[in-house]
Amino acid sequence: MSPVPALVTLRIDGVEVSVEPGTVIIRAAERAGIAIPRFCDHPLLAPVGACRQCLVDVASPGPDGALRAFPKPQAACTMPVSAGMEVHTAATSEAAASAERSVMELILATHPLDCPICDKAGECPLQNQAMSSGRDISRYTGSKRTYAKPIGLTAGILLDRERCVLCQRCTRFASEIAGDPFIALQGRGGSQQVGRFDPEVLGFAGHGEAAPGAPAAARAGLADPADAVTAELVPIGDTANLAPAAGPATTELPPVPEDSPTPGEAPGTALAADGTPFASYFAGNIVQLCPVGALTSTAYRFRSRPFDLVSTPSVAEHDSSCSAVRVDVRGGRVRRRLAGNDPAVNREWLSDKDRFAFAWQSLPERLTTPLIREGGILRQASWPEAIAAAAKGLAEADGVGVVPGGRLTIEDALAYSVVARTVLGTVDIDFRARPHSAEEARFLGQAVAGTGLGVTFDDLVSATRIVFVGFEPEEEGGIVYLRCREAVKAGATIVAIAPYASPGVRRLGGTLIQVVPGGEAAALDALADDAGAMAGTVILLGERLALSPGAFTSALAAERAGARVAWIPRRVGERGAVDAGCLPGPLRPALAAAIAEHGGAVGSAAADLEVPSATNPDGATDPDGVTNPDGTMGPGRPSGADGPVEPGSCAGRDTTAIFAAAMAGEIGGLLIAGVELGDLPNPAQARAGVERAFTVSLEVLPSAVTELADVVLPVAPPAEKPGTYVTWEGRMRPFPQVLVTTAMSDATVLAALAAKLGVPVDLSLTAAHAVLAEAAGAAETPIPAASPPDDPAPLEVTLPEDSVPSTQDPAAPENTIPPAEGSTPASYVPPSPVAGEALLATWHLALDAGRLGSGEPHLAATAKAPFAVLSRATAFEIDVRDGEPLQVSTAAGAIVVPVRIADIPDRVVWLPTNSPSCQVRATLGASAGIVHIEAAPTDQPEVHT
């Protein structure tokens, strides 16, 4: 324990305040409740002292103890406190007041004072402080700065330069926090301005032709290629890339084919040398940071006045970080979202997706009326009719599979869990609408479900080493990326176990442990061999590890060796779904008991849980169903299974098995919430399953599922219901209802459905909270001592391309480490592609074709254009050059995207999972394994399906 540093006591305007040493005066004044005007100062940015608005009078004791006044006023935002210091702000010092007034006069001198047409007016620090320290009438009579307005910094962010007070908050955010300096100061003096490496501003106009052979970054006028966005997407291992083997063209950055997708074509949006827009996944923060109206977002500009907005604190729905947001509503519509201030989670930052992608909740095509399929066609129906139809169909179906998806609140997830087990009498429930494995399910059951708050964001920042496995924080982790940058600044090192070092990992200064897809387990084992280095190490596991045999097992081994392990899924509802028991098989005892106590059928207890009901044609109670011999609870058999259920064989079907069974007619009903078929491991099979089975779809927006469903029940998007998300840490993030509408939450609809099925259950928020509180309070079954720490205890391995229905495998009870049997990670040998083949590596880009980005074109325009990554040798082998179109194909279909040469293992191809024109699962029907690669004809770069 380091000793707590003694506090420093000083007086500000006569008020005594004690603060930690090193605190700057302006923070100490805040502590004392004294306001000092400021523009450049921001608590989360390094002090810069640029605007000079916070000048105060300072005197501090000299060596003899006598107070000595500083001859000049000092910037309160940069001067650290010292013991016995006497600070006088404008409130008590004429010198400070005079300084404050003069700086304000100078700031306002050339400001356009166009508040009547400025979006910021009404919530503008400049406006407010001009009222408190400015003159009534300006003495400035000269001409003001005028610029073409606005310019687009990104497709989503506009800059009116004449309003800018050059406080540098935005440029400092870009370099300090996001680390992708897509904007910088340009020019100097009165013509200094924020911009985006603008050739005209920088005087480079007409200098387009640089000396041949000059490094690309130098030609772009960038001092440090490693930091620059233009260089960001230059493939890794560029020394190899610069070798002449692939022809002279490789010494240039690849020209992007003219017909390839080039987002970011909003007015004024410049493209970097490689055709990607200057952009950042966190750019929207600068709009909120701006203390004047210089930065506005395309989506909100001229849409509302701050005083017409009704603001509600809420939680963002786009990733498992569950960032705090403020939702601003006017006229019954969400107009914008701002970052909430939550130091423990997202600080004051937000990803652009969380900030801008809210239009999906109120798209014109949103489902508002229940639909029933009649004569093959969906028609509108009343709620009672639709509920009755759904109940009838599910009751008549021989077995029901429940696929609730990964985007639910924990209350809604719990509703699916309860309805599946107590009303539909099935354990065929799986939230994982993405590639998954039995090993993953066990990992989630043991190491995640009901474990409460584990590794936290703050733990990341205090870690000495952070290891990413199957996880790209910048693309898949939202705000996790910014917190990892914070960790790096605090001294942490970053290690990525991945096929190649992504730009995000490189900007974190990370070290790459290069593996072929599937090699993660071996790399983790090797890492854990250095047991001494495991203390202080945090291992972050992505959902993609389900495709990597043995990886979860190895992660648990590393945890036993002293590391801390956290699972970071992409979707907002996955952690909550795990906690709510939306995994196949029986519930963990604590949750089952809590449901029996608080969340079962109305007015009753465990007895009602024991009724398998609807799916059991004869209505007989299965005595083994609830309390299994091993002590777990819940209906004890997969839907449709005949005969008595043997103890230990009570595991349910996972997502793939559910759809396979539906396709095969083994189960006759499907209950599906927010799931895109294209996200599933096998979209074609899922489609066939939905087509064959009686499907009830609870959805917000029309989807492939709703098109094929037999009954569609519209449900509320997050803004129209209260609920709770759970962060990947296990932190509960309750949020209130923002908009009052008639839309109902999934749980409300499910309760109506359950009632119609004759099993009324209490799925209210109150009941859900009681269940969750009870489950969290109950002592979970400890991990049995039978598994000694040095026992590798591998989980069962499922090969990535082999999604064996888990009903075939005897599942171990949850909360225990399963016995060591089956193949061990070390024995896993990845398939060996031959020439013309490659192992597929893929992950989602943060901004892609995901459904929740719908309706926000400005945000979509800042997405990275899809591209494939190959090693130089592999590219050479199939005769494709950097920038040329590459065709990646399976029997199911082919994708054509431009290729980038990078340091990736030979015969491995990386593709973005779900970008426009590159939808891996839907097109290739694969998520891993061997795919064919070949040079595509250059005149056909569009998608072939």
Partner 1 sequence: MSELTPVLTARWGMPDSWRLETYRRDGGYQALAKALTMEPSALVDEIKASGLRGRGGAGFPAGMKWSFLPKPDGGPRYLVVNADESEPGTCKDVPLMMADPHLLVEGIAITAYAIGCDHAFVYLRGEVVHAYRRLMGAVEEAKAAGLLGQDILGSGWGLELTVHAGAGAYICGEETALLESLEGKRGQPRLKPPFPAVAGLYARPTVVNNVETIASVPGIVARGVEWFTAMGTERSKGHGIFSLSGHVTRPGQYEAPFGITLRELLTMAGGIRAGHELKFWTPGGSSTPLFTAEHLDVPLDYEQVAAAGSMLGTRAIQIFDDTTCVVRATARWMEFYAHESCGKCTPCREGTMWLWGTVLAIQEGRGKPEDLDILADIPASIVGKAFCPLGDGAPSALTSSMRYFRSEYEDHIHLGGCPFDPAASILLEEVAL
**Binding residue count for partner 1, defined by CB under 8 A:** 36
Which listed residue (1, 4, 211, 223) binds partner 1 by CB under 8 A? 223
Nearer to partner 1, 6 or 46 (CB): 46
Stretch that binds partner 1, among 179-187, 299-307, 330-338, 440-448 (CB under 8 A): 179-187
Min dist. Cβ of residue 53 to partner 1 (A) = 7
Query: Which range touches partner 1 (CB under 8 A), out of 100-108, 402-410, 650-658, 854-862?
Result: 100-108
Q: Which is nearer to partner 1, 182 or 867 (CB)?
A: 182
User: Is residue 48 a contact residue for partner 1 (CB under 8 A)?
Assistant: yes
CB 426 within 8 A of CB 416: no
For residue 136, state whether it binds partner 1 (rule: CB under 8 A).
no
At position 152, the amino acid (one-letter code) is G
Bridge partners (DSSP) listed for residue 564: 538
Among 545, 277, 345, 574, residue whose Cα is nearest residue 436:
545
Cβ atoms of residues 365 and 702 within 8 Å: yes
Q: Does 62 bind partner 1 (CB under 8 A)?
A: no
Give the interface segment with partner 1, choosing from 183-191, 272-280, 495-503, 605-613 (CB under 8 A).
183-191
Q: Which is nearer to partner 1, 50 or 403 (CB)?
A: 50
Question: Binding to partner 1 by residue 206, rule CB under 8 A?
Answer: no
**Cross-strand partners of 88:** 57
| Of residues 190 and 603, the one with the C-beta less far from partner 1 | 190
- Any contact of residue 105 with partner 1 (CB under 8 A)? yes
Stretch of residues binding partner 1 (CB under 8 A), selected from 52-60, 376-384, 554-562, 869-877: 52-60
Residue type, position 61, single letter: P
Whichever of 107 and 410 has its CB closer to partner 1, that residue is 107
Q: Peptide bond before 225: cis, by omega within 30 degrees of 0?
A: no
Q: Is the dihedral of CA 395, 399, 405, 406 positive or negative?
A: positive
Closest CA to 46 of 185, 187, 168, 192: 168
Q: Quick check: helix, strand or coil at residue 765? A: helix
Q: Is 204 in the site for partner 1 (CB under 8 A)?
A: no
State the pairing for strand pair 157-159/295-297.
antiparallel
- Cβ neighbours for 521, distance < 8 A, ≥ 6 positions apart: 548, 549, 550, 551, 553, 554, 825, 826, 828
Our finding on whether 387 is near partner 1 (CB under 8 A) is no
In 13-131, DSSP assigns E strands to 15-19, 55-61, 67-69, 74-75, 86-88
CB of 455 to partner 1, least distance (A): 32
Classified as helix, coil or strand, 707 is: helix
Give the x-and-dash track for 850-889 against partner 1 (CB under 8 A): ----------------------------------------
Tell the smallest beta-carbon distance from residue 108 to partner 1 (Å): 9
CA distance 685 to 661: 10
Which of 78, 251, 737, 764 lies at the binding interface for partner 1 (CB under 8 A)? 78
Closer to partner 1 by CB, 63 or 244: give it: 63
Q: Could you tell me the smallest distance in angstroms from the CB atom of residue 816 to partner 1?
A: 53
Residue 187 binding partner 1, by CB under 8 A: yes
Residue 59 is a binding residue for partner 1 (CB under 8 A): no
103 forms part of the interface with partner 1 (CB under 8 A): yes
> Which residue lies nearer to partner 1 by CB, 63 or 139?
139
Sign of the torsion angle spanned by Cα atoms 154, 157, 160, 161: negative
Strand partners, 334: 329
Q: Please tell me whether residue 277 binds partner 1 under the rule CB under 8 A.
A: no
- If binding is defined by CB under 8 A, does position 102 make contact with partner 1? yes
Quick one: 126 or 540, whose CB is closer to partner 1? Answer: 126
Minimum CB distance to partner 1, residue 75 (Å) = 8
Q: Out of 50, 461, 899, 908, point to the residue binding partner 1 (CB under 8 A).
A: 50
State how far the Cα of 66 lies from the Cα of 152, in Å rounded to an integer: 55
Where does this chain touch partner 1 (CB under 8 A) — which range of 104-112, 406-414, 611-619, 800-808? Answer: 104-112
Tell me the sheet residues that pair with 725.
733
Interface pick for partner 1 out of 1, 3, 136, 188 (rule CB under 8 A): 188
For residue 305, which of 332, 326, 335 has the smallest C-alpha distance? 335
Residue labelled with tokens 């004690």: 18
- Determine if 51 is a binding residue for partner 1 (CB under 8 A): yes
Task: Give the three-state DSSP class for 349.
Answer: coil
Q: Say if residues 183 and 172 touch (Cβ distance below 8 Å).
A: no
Q: Is 185 near partner 1 (CB under 8 A)?
A: yes
Rule CB under 8 A: say whether 195 interacts with partner 1. Answer: no
Q: Cα–Cα distance between 638 and 919 in angstroms, integer? A: 33
Candidate segments 50-58, 121-129, 460-468, 795-803, binder of partner 1 by CB under 8 A:
50-58
Give the nearest distance from C-beta 229 to partner 1 in angstroms. 17
Show the site string, 143-172: x = touches partner 1 by CB under 8 A, - = not. x---------------------xx------
Give residue for tokens 């620090």: 125
Binding marks (x or -) toward partner 1, 107..126, rule CB under 8 A? x-xx----------------
Q: Is 228 in the site for partner 1 (CB under 8 A)?
A: no
- Does the protein bind partner 1 through residue 82 (CB under 8 A)? no
> Would you call 466 exposed, middle or buried from its count of C-beta atoms within 10 A (0-12, 13-18, 19+)?
buried
Q: Which is nearer to partner 1, 183 or 609 (CB)?
A: 183
Residue pair 379/744 in contact (Cβ under 8 Å)? The answer is no
Q: Which stretch binds partner 1 (CB under 8 A): 48-56, 230-238, 405-413, 907-915?
A: 48-56
Site membership for partner 1, residue 189 (CB under 8 A) = yes
Instruction: Tell whether residue 225 is a contact of partner 1 (CB under 8 A).
Output: no
Q: Could you tell me which stretch among 7-15, 180-188, 317-325, 566-574 binds partner 1 (CB under 8 A)? A: 180-188
Residue 192 interacts with partner 1 (CB under 8 A): yes or no: yes
Cβ nearer to partner 1, comparing 196 with 421: 196
Name which position in 5, 190, 212, 643 contacts partner 1 (CB under 8 A). Answer: 190
- Which residues from 28-47 bind partner 1, rule CB under 8 A? 47
Among left, alpha and beta (phi > 0; psi -120 to 50; other), residue 866 is: beta
Whether 436 and 470 have beta carbons less than 8 Å apart is answered as: no
Among 26, 34, 99, 705, binds partner 1 (CB under 8 A): 99
At a CB cut-off of 8 Å and minimum separation 6, what does 654 contact? 430, 432, 436, 438, 441, 584, 805, 806
Helices (H), 833-917: 857-860, 872-877
Segment interacting with partner 1 (CB under 8 A) among 101-109, 382-390, 604-612, 865-873: 101-109
Q: What is the 3-state secondary structure (H, E, C) of 473-489?
A: HHHHCCCHHHHHHHHHH
Running DSSP on this structure, what letter comes out for residue 587?
Answer: B
Which letter, b or e, does each residue of 817-855 get, where b requires 16 or more Cβ atoms within 10 Å of its Cβ?
bbeeeeebbeebebeebeeebbbbbbbbbbbbbbbbbbb
DSSP code string of 205-228? TT---PPTT--HHHHTT-S-GGG-
Do 35 and 91 touch, CB atoms closer than 8 A? Answer: no
Render the burial of 297-331: b for 16+ CB within 10 Å, e for the rest.
bbbbeebbeeeebeebebbbbbbbbbbbbbbbbbe
Residues binding partner 1 (CB under 8 A):
47-53, 55, 71-73, 78, 99, 102-103, 105-107, 109-110, 139-140, 142-143, 165-166, 184-185, 187-192, 223-224
